[in-house]
């Protein structure tokens, strides 16, 4: 597999693990319990569009924003890796869904607003996803890899839409245990990527 293909796979796998659509299913169903399938699909569509827009914007200008605050890319890479590791540990330990539910209950977001807040932000396009796309944009070697990053964002967003739109069906097929296993597997992958981010940032800082 060539370097460009590896870069795309790394971007896609990391993003789909961070977005964690399987973990978001339970929250989506709880927030849209009074909606039919058509209305729920509309909410998911708006949420995914907002997520895609946010991640695309930060992939484009996130680096400049952090540079304006005097944050080096090495520091950003390490910080992003630590955020990913923290999120991954919570997914592996089965803590993420419960904590997010509690945060959403405290937010008291109106039903009409759940597509943007809290589904798009911070559930999907949270600090971990923003950090990841900013770091990947900096690591992209040339226009091709830069384009592959946006393709990965689009692919991860599209797959998240498919999963969330069919959330009630997936829950029936996979069951509670199957969903938990999938979340933990994604958390393990995310943990490996987080460690790679940290090691890469430390290496660049001392070189």
Reported as a pLDDT band with limits 50, 70 and 90, residue 98 is very low
pLDDT confidence bin for 151, thresholds 50/70/90: very high
- Please report the pLDDT score of residue 107 as a whole number: 46
pLDDT tens digits, one per residue of 103-147: 455 445 555 568 998 889 888 998 899 999 999 999 998 999 999
Is the confidence at residue 95, as pLDDT, over 50? Answer: yes
Q: What percent of the chain has pLDDT over 90?
A: 47
Predicted local confidence at residue 106, as pLDDT = 43
Q: DSSP string covering the chain, please?
A: --HHHHHHHHHHHHHHHHH-HHHHHHHHHHHTTTS-HHHHHHHHHHHHHHHHHHHHHHHHHHHHHHHHTT--HHHHHHHHHHHHHHHHHHHHTT-HHHHHHHHHHHHT--GGGTIIIIIIIIIIS-HHHHHHHHHHHHH--SHHHHHHHHHHHHHHHHHHHHHHHTHHHHHHHHHHHHHHHHHHHHHHHHHHHHHHHHHHHHHHHT-
Q: Which of 142, 170, 191, 201 is nearest to 44 (CA)?
A: 170
The confidence score (pLDDT) of residue 5 equals: 95
Q: How confident is the model at residue 71 (pLDDT cuts 50, 70, 90)?
A: confident
pLDDT of residue 111: 52
Among all chains, which residue has been given the structure tokens 């399987």? 22
> How high is the pLDDT of residue 197?
92
pLDDT of residue 178: 87
- Domain spans of the chain, in order of start: 3-202
State the pLDDT at residue 103.
46
pLDDT per residue as tens digits for the range 168-198: 888 888 887 888 888 888 889 889 989 999 9
**Please, which residues have CB within 8 angstroms of residue 150's CB and are 6 or more apart in sequence?**
56, 59
- pLDDT-derived band at 100 (thresholds 50, 70, 90) equals low
């Amino acid at each position: 597999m060539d370097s460009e293909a590896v870069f795309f796979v790394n971007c896609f796998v990391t993003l789909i693990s961070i977005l964690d659509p399987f973990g978001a299913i339970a929250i989506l169903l709880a927030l849209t319990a009074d909606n039919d399938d058509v209305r729920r699909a509309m909410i998911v569509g708006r949420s995914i569009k907002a997520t895609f827009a946010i991640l695309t914007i930060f992939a484009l200008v996130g680096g400049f924003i952090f540079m304006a605050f005097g944050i080096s890319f090495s520091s950003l890479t390490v910080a992003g890796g630590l955020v990913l590791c923290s999120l991954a540990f919570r997914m592996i330990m089965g803590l993420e869904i419960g904590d997010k539910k509690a945060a959403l209950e405290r937010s008291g977001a109106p039903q009409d607003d759940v597509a943007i807040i809290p589904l798009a932000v911070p559930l999907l396009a949270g600090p971990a996803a923003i950090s990841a796309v900013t770091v990947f944009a900096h690591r992209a070697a040339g226009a091709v890899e830069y384009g592959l990053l946006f393709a990965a964002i689009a692919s991860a967003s599209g797959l998240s839409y498919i999963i969330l739109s069919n959330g009630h069906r997936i829950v029936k097929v996979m069951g509670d245990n199957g969903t938990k296993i999938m979340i933990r597997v994604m958390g393990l992958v995310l943990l490996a990527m987080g460690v790679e981010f940290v090691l890469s940032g430390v290496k660049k800082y001392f070189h």
